């Protein structure tokens, strides 16, 4: 991982990362361990070999604990989050049908936030997506997108873009819950994240890049069809920075 020059003011205590075994989750865990955080990573099965790469990260033997948790199983989430000062909610549900994305995405996110509230977590970073803000046909082309821009959920449903609808509703509900309950919630909205893979299987953005290189994925023909990209290291760093005190980084 590249060296980061910005200083850290550490949050005290253990940090939980949901979905620790995925592409971004693995890099967030990597960065946290490199900064000597105590990390609790949630996975589906801590003994599964597909998560072995996490236990091989620097400082993992002393600072990393993998625990079993399911976004739709509140007791397992609370058990994983209890005793943590901060939480990165990176995990996403994997329903059998794309149409079924919305409800588990919202329910899973709210379960994480309810567990954080009960466990008295100091701050929660919710990993959303650029999909939660870019699917808005009413947004003027000449106006830069900012925190006030949200994807139009009804538009997403009409065009059957269930991923965009799920990310938009989950992030919106997360902020509503945080405001209503006094929970410090921040979000980050990456687009396609590219970089080296820590996990044993390729993620969606890496597969897209492979298809482009092989010529099996057509090049995008217009600005509206274009895809924005994020660097894996910079985005992992942004996530960790968002967990730190607001007075330090202003998030």
Catalytic residues: 167
Helices 162-181 & 102-118, crossing angle to 10 degrees? 20
Comparing CA positions, the residue from 200, 20, 9 lying closest to residue 127 is: 20
Angle (CA) 86 90 96, round 5°: 145
Three-state SS for the chain is: CCCCCCCCCCCCCEEEEECCCCHHHHHHHHHHHHCCCEEEEEECCCCCHHHHHHHCCCCHHHHEEEEECCCCCHHHHHHHHCCEEEEEECCCCCCCCHHHHHHHHHHHHHHHHHHHHHCCCCEEEEECCCHHHHCCCCCCCCCCCCCCCCCCHHHHHHCCCHHHHHHHHHHHHHHHHHHHHCCCEEEECCCEEECCCCCCCCCHHHHHHHHHHHCCCCCCCCCCCCCCEEEHHHHHHHHHHHHCCHHHHCC
């Amino acid at each position: 991982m590249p060296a980061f020059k910005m200083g850290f003011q550490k949050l005290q205590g253990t940090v939980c990362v949901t979905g620790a075994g995925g592409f971004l989750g693995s890099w967030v865990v990597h960065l946290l361990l490199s900064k000597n955080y105590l990390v609790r990573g949630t996975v589906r099965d801590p003994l599964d070999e597909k998560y072995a790469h996490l236990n091989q990260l620097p400082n993992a033997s002393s600072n990393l604990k993998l625990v079993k948790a399911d976004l739709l199983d509140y007791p397992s989430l609370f058990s994983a989050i209890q005793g943590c000062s901060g939480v990165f909610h990176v995990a996403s549900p994997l329903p059998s049908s794309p149409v079924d994305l919305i409800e588990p995405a919202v329910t899973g996110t709210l379960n994480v936030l309810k567990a954080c509230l009960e466990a008295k977590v100091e701050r929660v970073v919710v990993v959303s997506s650029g999909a939660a803000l870019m699917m808005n046909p009413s947004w003027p082309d000449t106006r830069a997108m900012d925190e006030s821009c949200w994807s139009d959920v009804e538009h997403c449903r009409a065009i059957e873009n269930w991923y965009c609808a799920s990310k938009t509703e989950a992030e919106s509900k997360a902020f509503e819950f945080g405001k209503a309950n006094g929970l410090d919630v921040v979000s980050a909205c990456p687009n396609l994240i590219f970089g080296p893979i820590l996990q044993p299987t390729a993620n969606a953005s890496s597969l897209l890049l492979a298809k482009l290189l092989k010529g099996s994925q057509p090049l995008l023909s217009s600005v509206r069809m274009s895809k924005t990209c994020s660097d894996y290291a910079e985005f992992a760093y942004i996530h960790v920075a968002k967990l730190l005190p607001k007075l330090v980084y202003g998030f």
